[in-house]
Structure 1
Amino acid sequence: MGLMVFIYLVTGLVYIYVGAFSFIYDPKNKLNRIFSILCLNLALWAIMFSITNAVSDVETAMVFIRIASIFQSMVYCLFLHFILILTGKDGFLKKPVNYVILYIPAICCIYLYYFNSQITRDSFIKTQAGWIYSIEWTGSIFSSLLLPAYFLVYSSICIFLLYKWGNESSIKRIKHQAKIIVSTIVMVLVLGTVTDILLPVLRIGRLPALMVTLNLIPVYGIWYSNKRFRLLNLDPRNVFLDVIENLGEGMIITNHDNIIQDINNGALKMLGYTLDELAGKHITIIMKNSRDISKANPGNKKEINLVKKCGDLLPVLLTSSSLFDEWGEVYGNVFVFQDLTEIKQIQMELKKSHDELERKVYERTKELNMANEELRNEIKSRIEMEQEIRKLAYYDQLTGLPNKKLFMNYLDKKIHENLRNELTLAVMCLDLDSFKMINDTMGYAKGEELLKQVAERLLKSLKKSDTVSRVAGDEFLILIQNNPDGRTIDVVASKLNRIFHKPFIVSGNEVHVTASIGVAIYPIDGEDADTLVKNADIAMYRAKEKGKNKYEICTPLMRQNLVETMKFTNNLYRAVSRKEFNLLYQPQVNIETGEIVGFEGLIRWNHPELGIIHPNKFIPIGEKTGLIIPISEWVFENACRQNKEWQEKCGIYVPMAVNLSPKQLIDSDLVNVVSEILKKTGLSPCFLELEITESALLEEIDIIRDTLVELSKMGVRITIDDFGTRYSSLNYLKQLPINRVKIDISFVQGITVNHKDEAIINAIIDLARKLDIDILAEGVETFPQMNFLRNLSCNIIQGFYLYRPMDPGRVYELLLNSRR
């Protein structure tokens, strides 16, 4: 490769790099685009020269030198075009005809040197450096002088425009830019004139064409100005574009002449413009009033109106900041504004409300003056009503019985009397059983009628010395006096229970209702009214727990159990907030293949004082308090996450079974909760199995069915746990989307012991098989039990005989070993 081939090639590559970098730097900037085109033209000129010097024959060299003449002819027009945009004189180019005027020399040169070629074989000389093309004076002075004159004139115009631009500007940055670029153009003008015009014309030496290489000098000058003084791009998007583009507020960046350089999406959205419609326009396109620009002093916030594309005014809160160069001079501005449309609307609404309020105050004041006279007359009637109000304050309006306040006052009084006489009292708390169902089915009016009749029967069944009070809803308090003993209490309580044996007639309909009664005795169960009523209430709830329609006398053990239950409940609340639970996992095994085909997640409470507590002790409390919801959601999420982890680490994909509480079944948000947990943990729905008990299906069956259908559509598996132990209904297997039934441990434990249990197991398996429902036997603890189930083709089992519940680490080891 010859020296000049290498020099031209490297020169072309440098031009390509500079041009590409400038275009990528900001492709939307007009100055960047024309500079990139200029660099591309120079690159093609240099590359054509490189190819020319690489070929050996003159004919081929002539072809490529003619092609090079196209790009040589274009370069000075492009350079002047660039300078016009840089110095702000591109207004000359607003008329299309001026583009023709600007590029006429290039068109003429292309015609002369390419189409009507002045390039002949005699113009080429072969040297060690390659082909040398020399300008020859011909008979046509025009064709000989056109290119040199074009070069000299356009270069001089560029120097003049740059000198004037720098001299007229008060900005140091612009002065430095103009000085650097003028210096580099002058250098090329002098050197190029000598090397490519004078020496060939005067026939002093034979040098290769150096003008294309010399043009690296002004290109470098522009490159240096761009890097040092931000020549090509004042676009702040290159500094913080990612921030401003996504601001909810509007942001506009202008140069020192308030020409819009960039505008963020927030501003475009507010104003209804596109970026191309505003870029390069003066800020007055949206700020019609020039005073608005002066209002936006740095640091000050002003309310002004901007003009949207559609012509509507946009009220905004405007502030501005200046952009400074290295010399502390302003080279641009940033305008930030916030849409005040909604605020203005709110202000208008507030003013409207204020005016309306003033009007109403005036009218109200007028009305009050009129009402004062009525008030005087009313005071007299109120005084007369006070006595009636006092009566209403101590008696139940529905039944006419004393209310709780009067009862408690009376009980306190009797306690003090009996304290002196050392006599006993008995307080009974009577509550109707399932009264809510009566209200729900018959309506509140019928329920109130029933309460009246209950009050009447209570009064008739008690002595005059005894007191009955309605304290709330369907709850009554009864005070038994005259030193009652155990036999007296039994007689009275039994008598009260018997009054409910006869049905009540409400609106012509028979209504059957029962009551539960709790009894507390003074002074054994309390020495003050509050304690006695509380302990009677405890005994009443104990009676309800025992089956209702009973009475219970409060005992120390009952009170102790309540205290312990309350403590246990408080601890359970704490356990939920502190995440004191952990999960164990019991494998479900196919006894034919020995493979693990599933897991059941079993919760344990790790109590800091009592140690590990099994769910049968705290789940009932969770059901009563509603804590079962967050507990179950914790179980769902952790079991799903654990199953997903095993799948990813061990490559074993089996379902994870978790228990679903009755409260969750009727929770309208259950489907969303399960869906969110599956989405959060990434577990596929087909690997989640929800176990429900038969007792959970007794109420709200329509709601439960819809919920289970939705879960089943998601792909979640549904299992009936403890099948056959409580309220088995074959209708459930028909109505609900059941995938599996679990044979309860109580039946499994009867294998080889009770032939009835074996017969029930056989019937369940046969029924499930015919309904195409999977079967799993739980609680398998011996080989005979497993063998019996195998013989009945119940191959999926769960129990201590194969695996006890284990922590996740042991399961992980088990799964790894099973893969081996």
Structure 2
Amino acid sequence: MTVESGQVTKVARSPLARRLVVAIVLFSSIITLVITAIQIRVDYEQELSDIDAEFEQIRHSSLHSVSQSVWVLDELQVRNQLKGLTKLSSIEFAAVNVEGKQRWAVGQQPDRDQVSARFPLTYQHRGETLEIGELVIIGTLDNVYHRLMDRVLFILFGNGLKTSLVALFSLFLFYHLLGRYILDLKQFADRFGEEQDLPLFSLNRKRSARHQPDELDSLAASINHMVKTLRNREDDLRVFATTVEQSPSSVLLTDADGNIVYVNPTFTEISGYTLDDVYGKKPAQLTAGLTADEVSEQIWETIRSGGVWAGELKSRSKSGTIYWESVKIGPVLDKNGEIIRYILVNEDITLRKSYEEQLLHQANYDGLTNLPNRLLAFDRIAQAMVTAQREKCHVVVMFLDLDRFKNVNDTLGHALGDELLVEAAKRLRSCIRVEDTVARLGGDEFLIILPGIQKTQNAELIARKVLQAMAAPFFLNGRELYITASIGITIYPEDSDSPEILLRNADVAMYQAKAQGSNSFCFFTQTMNNQARARLEIESELRHAQENRELELHFQPIVDARSGQIVAAEGLLRWNNPTLGRVSPDTFVPLAEDIGLILPIGDWVLRTACHTAMTWQQSGRTPVRVCVNASVRQFRNGNIVQTIASVLEESGLPAHCLEVEITEGLLLDDAPEIQEILNKLHRMGVRISIDDFGTGYSSLCYLKKFPFDVLKIDQSFVRDVINDPDDAALAAAIIHMAHQLKLEVVGEGVETTAQLHYLQDNGLDMVQGYLFSKPVTAEGFKRLLDQKKSHGSLSGVVKKTDSHTLTEH
């Protein structure tokens, strides 16, 4: 009861309840007044109507008798009749006027609120109606007013009592039907802001089985829906707040004027500033002096127009450290689209910028010498050309290559070679001006760019200075090394206005300097350009030679020196181009090595040779070995063993019918993988020969260390065995040494019988040369094999040719 009465009191005191009661009272009062006014008006009209009725009654009932009394001049009777009239409730005064003058009167004439009537007095005399006077009756409305006032007071009192009862009853209904639930709702709202786990709002009222949901139920449902929505949004806000608080990015919030009102912990962690340090300050104050004014203006112009600005800016931490940030700034709008906040999300990208700078440096500078690389060198040349064109001067480009650097790498190791390159780079930098550039193109190739040269003769002076600096001894790891350089020089604008062509010109001139001998320089000439163009044309055609089926494989017989029988065939590559004609192997094979085409071409030669040899055997001819030259690149590519095994399986050629020829250049590195490859081939049954023995860095260690089957004496020794005792002695010594090592020996380039007889006399096993046959096509070699079958051997040919060569054939 206490709680209930307390709630009633609250309802009674509530402004809403008071407004309800006042509204009821006012409305009831207005209605009462209106109804009372209408009622009084009706009553007033009724009173007037009653007075009129009395007047009519007088007309009909008293007028005749009064006329009689006046006719006979019965004053007493007239007065009695007038008194009788004044006794009526509404009449105060009655009088009879004769000839316009008052003759008899009874009563007091009222001063105000009177009502009157005048009736003519007539008398029938001798058939004629005579007007003998006038009856005047005057009544008062005071009684009417008194009666109406009593009635008004009664009505007002009754309606007032009724209004009060209605108001109290309405207040009760308001509380019972609505007020108490409003109070419950208020209490729920008060508790909702304080209690997290508050249950949903429920109307505390009894419900019958026939209860239909009403507005309060709808209100309760709407409130509970709102509560759920608010809780979901609160959860979302909590998640958002947690996300912002734990975000790895700095988050700042400003007011509409750009003053900081919030920062997350990451901002404090990165910058060192707390919210107290920066509250009310502008974010720009943290980058003061680090952001250009035009950038700041662009930022504000973008975000004030409702856009989002993104970019990278420098900031300064509380300790003074400068760091990079990826910044995204955008406005926060209210429901009307007005800006109320700005939010800044910053990511510390200092480490990434550092990596980018490193990558940029790595992309433009050589990792070993820290010199500009090819990419940056081209840019420097282009810049120098623009300046030279404007200032009417020259640009000198020098292409420098270290002489015999490969020997240093091969003999002393790559580590020492790298140290040598670093020291060489230092010397080159010491020879030039600050505005000049020294770049490393790769390996032992350097580029020197000299911009702003007024006299081209100065290029020669600088070249000599560079050669002199490079010729001085290098002291590395306790070793004294000597190395020289070759320099090719080209000049802008005389030689070209293209950085690429200038570099190519300098490269061509450098190779010309090498051809002249080490430790020299050479200026580019048009002749060199023509040679370079020819090389480019050959290179372009060579790249399509295999797919256009321009390559051919010719075979030169290798003959047993005693019997004259053909025991092997060396496959020799030929190229017949529709544009260039027949191109010498000495021209295109080194080029194929340089541009990397030797691998597919070498595979084609190997496959073609094996298939051709197997075709000879399948046609019933005596099996002969086929010899194929293998390049250094094929061995260093790492899969030559698998390639040979695959080709042998594919063609069906026995492994002992294949002989792989290598040069001494392959063995200079003394790499373990080369020896392993040769051992694998040897175990497969493939024969291995060393070609052009005696022309390179010949070493007996090679013959002992590697599994060779055949040694081929270079034709430069065979050519002069008859005329030069030294060559004859060397050839005889090589044959004897090879036999001691259980190697077979082939003499290359045998063109005369005298050469053949000398070699035979010294025990040579096999010979090869124009004395027997020049290289021929596969069909031509088949005919040679057929001649062998018909004549028994080629020994007869040897006897017939005597000292003449077969080159004429």
Tell whether 2:782 aligns with 1:809: no
Task: Select 1:404's aligned residue among 377, 384, 389.
Answer: 377
Q: 1:415 aligns with which of 381, 388, 411?
A: 388
Task: Name the structure with the higher strand share.
Answer: 2
Shift of 1:468: 2.6
Aligned counterpart, 2:667: 697
Aligned with residue 381 of structure 1, among 314, 320, 323: 314
How far 1:677 moved relative to its partner? 0.4
Say whether 1:597 aligns with 2:567: yes
Separation (CA, whole Å) in 2 of partners of 1:817 and 1:362? 98
Q: 2:437 aligns with which of 465, 468, 473?
A: 468
Q: Distance in 2 between matches of 1:483 and 1:625?
A: 38
Query: Could you tell me how far apart the structure 2 residues matched to 1:469 and 1:697 are?
Result: 35
- The 2-side partners of 1:578 and 1:754 are apart by 46
Aligned counterparts of 2:421 and 2:740: Cα–Cα separation in 1: 52
Distance 1:805 1:505, change over 3 A: closer
- Which of the numbers 552, 557, 576 marks the counterpart of 1:606? 576
* Aligned match of 1:711: 681
Deviation at 1:630, TM superposition (A): 1.3
Task: Note if contact 1:765-1:794 (Cα within 8 Å) is conserved in structure 2.
Answer: yes
Tell me by how many angstroms 1:484 deviates.
2.4
Are 2:768 and 1:768 aligned? no
Q: Choose which of 440, 446, 449 in structure 2 pairs with 1:478.
A: 449
Q: How does the TM-score come out when normalised to structure 2?
A: 0.50
SS in structure 2 of the partner of residue 712 of structure 1: helix
Distance 1:526 1:538 in 2: 14
Which residue does 1:789 correspond to in 2? 759
Deviations 1:547-581 (A, max 9, x none): 65432211112222222112211211101223321
3-state SS of 1:605 partner: strand
- Residue of structure 2 in register with 1:739 after alignment: 709
What RMSD in Å do the two structures reach over aligned CA positions?
4.0
Asked if the contact 1:691–1:718 (Cα under 8 Å) also holds between the matched residues in 2, the reply is: yes
Alignment deviations for residues 376-409 of structure 1 (CA, whole Å, 9 cap, x no partner): 76854269789x9999979969888775366235
Give aligned pairs, total: 456
Range with bigger deviation, 693-702 or 749-758: 693-702
Q: CA deviation at 1:810?
A: 2.5
- Once the two structures are TM-superposed, the CA of residue 672 in structure 1 deviates from its matched residue by 0.8
| 1:371-770 equivalences in 2 (<5 Å) | 371-373=250-252, 374=267, 380-381=313-314, 403-404=376-377, 407-419=380-392, 423-431=393-401, 454=424, 456-463=426-433, 467-470=436-439, 472=441, 475-479=446-450, 481-486=452-457, 488-504=458-474, 514-543=484-513, 549-770=519-740
Q: Is the 8 A contact 2:571 2:627 kept in 1?
A: yes
Bigger Cα Rg: 2
Deviations along 1:207-256, one digit per CA (max 9) or x if unpaired, are xxxxxxxxxxxxxxxxxxxxxxxxxxxxxxxxxxxxxxxxxxxxxxxxxx
Q: Deviations over 1:172-201 (max 9, x none)?
A: xxxxxxxxxxxxxxxxxxxxxxxxxxxxxx
Which moved further from structure 2: 496-505 or 595-604? Answer: 496-505
* 8 A Cα contact 1:723 1:742, kept in partner: yes
Instruction: Please give the secondary structure, in 1, of the residue aligned with 2:547.
Output: helix
**CA contact 1:601–1:656 (8 Å) conserved in 2:** yes
Deviation at 1:785, TM superposition (A): 1.5
TM-score where L is the length of structure 1: 0.50
CA separation of 1:749/1:485 partners in 2, compared to 1, >3 Å: closer, same or farther? same
Aligned partner of residue 499 in structure 1, secondary structure:
helix
Q: Which one has the bigger helix percentage?
A: 1
Residues 365, 666 of structure 1: alpha-carbon distance in 2 compared, 3 angstrom cutoff: farther
Task: Report the secondary structure of 2:496's partner residue.
Answer: coil
Q: How far off is 1:530 after superposition?
A: 4.8
Is the Cα contact below 8 Å between 2:384 and 2:452 reproduced in 1? Answer: no
Residues 88-237 of structure 1 aligned to structure 2 (within 5 Å): none
Rate the CA distance shift 1:780–1:468 in 2: closer, same or farther, 3 A: same
Which deviates further from its counterpart, 427-436 or 767-776?
427-436
Counterpart-to-counterpart distance in 1, 2:783 and 2:378: 66
**Alpha-carbon spacing, 1:447–1:793, altered in 2? closer, same or farther (3 Å):** closer
Partner SS, residue 698 of structure 2: coil
Shift of the 509–710 alpha-carbon distance from structure 1 to 2, 3 Å rule, reads same
Rounded to whole Å, the distance in 1 between the matches of 2:366 and 2:676 is 43
Query: Would the aligned equivalents of 1:519 and 1:554 in 2 still touch at CA under 8 Å?
Result: yes
Identity of aligned residues (%): 33
Residue 367 to residue 509, structure 1, CA distance change in 2 (3 Å): farther
Q: Is the Cα contact below 8 Å between 1:592 and 1:795 reproduced in 2?
A: yes
CA-to-partner distance for each residue in 1:356-395, whole Å, 9 max, x for gaps?
xxxxx99998865743454976854269789x99999799
Please give the alpha-carbon distance, in whole angstroms, between the structure 2 residues aligned to 1:513 and 1:655: 45
Following the alignment from structure 1 to structure 2, what is the Cα–Cα distance between the partners of residues 549 and 664?
Answer: 32
Is this contact kept in 1: 2:410–2:669, CA < 8 A? no
> In the aligned structure 2, how far is the partner of 1:727 from the partner of 1:385?
60
The farther-off stretch of 700-709 and 498-507 is 498-507
Q: 1:630 to 1:764 in 2, by over 3 A?
A: same
Change (3 A) 1:584 1:509: closer
Q: How many angstroms does 1:411 deviate by?
A: 0.8
Q: Cα distance, 1:712 vs. partner?
A: 0.7
Alignment check: 8 A CA contact 1:603 1:614 kept = no
Could you say which residue in structure 1 is the equivalent of 2:214?
none
C-alpha contact (below 8 Å) 1:425/1:484 kept by paired residues? no
Greater CA drift, 682-691 or 367-376? 367-376
1:816 and 1:610 mapped to 2: Cα distance?
34
Change (3 A) 1:391 1:699: closer
Partners of 1:409 and 1:796 in 2: CA distance: 60
Which letter does structure 1 place at the counterpart of 2:655? P
Change (3 A) 1:362 1:575: farther
Unmatched 5+ stretches in structure 2: 1-239, 253-266, 271-282, 288-311, 317-321, 325-352, 791-809
Q: Secondary structure at the match of 1:686?
A: helix
Contact in 1 for aligned 2:490/2:505 (Cα 8 Å): yes
Secondary structure at the aligned position of 1:819 is classed as helix
Q: Give the conservation status (yes or no) of the 8 Å contact 1:439–1:446.
A: yes
Between the aligned partners of 1:798 and 1:442, the Cα distance in structure 2 is 39
Name the structure 2 match of 1:153. Answer: none
Q: Is the 8 A contact 1:660 1:692 kept in 2?
A: yes
Question: Is contact 2:410-2:668 (8 Å) kept?
Answer: no
**C-alpha deviation, 1:730, in angstroms:** 0.9
Work out whether residues 606 and 613 of structure 1, in 8 Å CA contact, stay in contact via their aligned partners in 2: yes
CA distance in 2: counterparts of 1:452 and 1:815, whole angstroms:
60
Report if the CA contact (8 A) 2:621-2:785 is conserved: no
Tell me the distance in 2 between the aligned counterparts of 1:362 and 1:686.
81
